Amino acid sequence: MDITITHSQIKEAVEQAYNECKDIKGGHNADYIPFLANIDPNLFGISLTLPDGTQFNVGDTEYKFGIESVSKVLTAILVLKQQGAEAVLKQIGADATGLPFNSIFAILLENDHPSTPLVNAGAITACSMVEPKGDSWGKWEAIINNFTALCGSEAQVLDELYKSESETNFNNRSIAWLLKNYNRIYDDVPMSLDLYTRQCSVGITASQLSVCAGTIANGGLNPVTKEQVFAKDLAPKITTLISTVGFYQNTGDWLYTSGIPAKSGVGGGVLGVLPGVMGIAAFAPPLDPAGNSVKAQAAVKAVMNKLGLGVFNGDRVTVVAD
């Protein structure tokens, strides 16, 4: 079916979703990273970006929160760009683990590869694959410049969050060394782990994340800066990774009920990609037991339902200004 949606319908859907979801209770801030436990749990924002650069924002969309696991999407794009889709498949993989994001068990079960760049193990491997190899500063520059290009504006590490994560990331240290044991780290181990920790500690706004989502939805062309950040043929690759594991062990339920591939992070962010139509981001700190923001997921789902959109609906969607 051909369906047409107007800008005012989108604005209304975003505003209604905000009003309906703002008082949702439930969930808890992540507390295994001490810094995150102290973030105001009432913060909440939704941002939607269209391929023409139009953005709809409501709530706390300029608040810089910890990007956490959503960073895995951005660095997976960098590695896809630098090394190609085949290398990512071969050296990391593209399968869901069906297990929590930080699972060590998943590594033992799939000891031929760490499964996907969107869980901790695969993301640490992805950091080890970033070029220039062996050059910590050069690798970090590549990672953060890629964040800026995807989000359309500069992003910086939240120093306190970085410190808090570095001091408490014992599970990730085990993952990194276990990966080394299976020859699945392609650079220095502490360096790869540190780059991963640092990228998780980047402060990002919902508005920036929705530009990033819009860039993926728009085939790598940033809707705001008009820069072609990555080749169009990589967009379905990254969206596939998001679809299969973006909500960790709840990903199937998520896709089934929301109709949009999305990636969450324990900082409370959610980034959703509807190819060719829009990018959306929402942020609220309290999480469900799997680590997905309670309010942000409700908000993205509400926007999708109100607009009658779904990645598998088979509709040709046209968005028009009015």
Binding site for ligand GLU (CB under 6 A): 68-69, 101-102, 120, 165, 172, 200, 265-266, 291
Nearer to ligand GLU, 234 or 287 (CB): 287
Contact call for residues 44 and 199 (beta carbons, < 8 A): no
As a whole number of angstroms, the distance between CA 74 and CA 55 comes to 20
Of the two residues 124 and 309, which places its CB atom closer to ligand GLU in the complex?
Answer: 124
Residue placing its CB nearer to ligand GLU in the complex, 272 or 291: 291
Residue 225 C-beta: closest distance to ligand GLU, Å: 26
Quickly count helices (H) and strands (E) in the chain: 13, 10
Distance of closest approach, residue 121 Cβ to ligand GLU, in angstroms: 10
Q: At closest approach, how far in Å is the CB of 55 from ligand GLU?
A: 24
The span from the CA of 253 to the CA of 259, in Å, is 10
Chain residue at closest Cβ approach to ligand GLU: 69
Query: Rounded to the nearest whole angstrom, what is the least distance from the CB of residue 276 to ligand GLU in the complex?
Result: 27
Residue 78 or 266 having the CB closest to ligand GLU: 266
- Tell me the CB-side half-sphere exposure of residue 52, using CA atoms within 13 A: 8
Nearer to ligand GLU, 124 or 129 (CB): 124
How many other β-carbons are positioned within 10 Å of the β-carbon of residue 145? 13
Residue 27's alpha-carbon distances to 187, 280, 287, 289, in angstroms, are: 37, 22, 5, 8
Q: How far is CA 283 from CA 51, 179, 265, in A?
A: 21, 31, 9
Q: How far is the CB of 268 from ligand GLU (least distance, A)?
A: 9
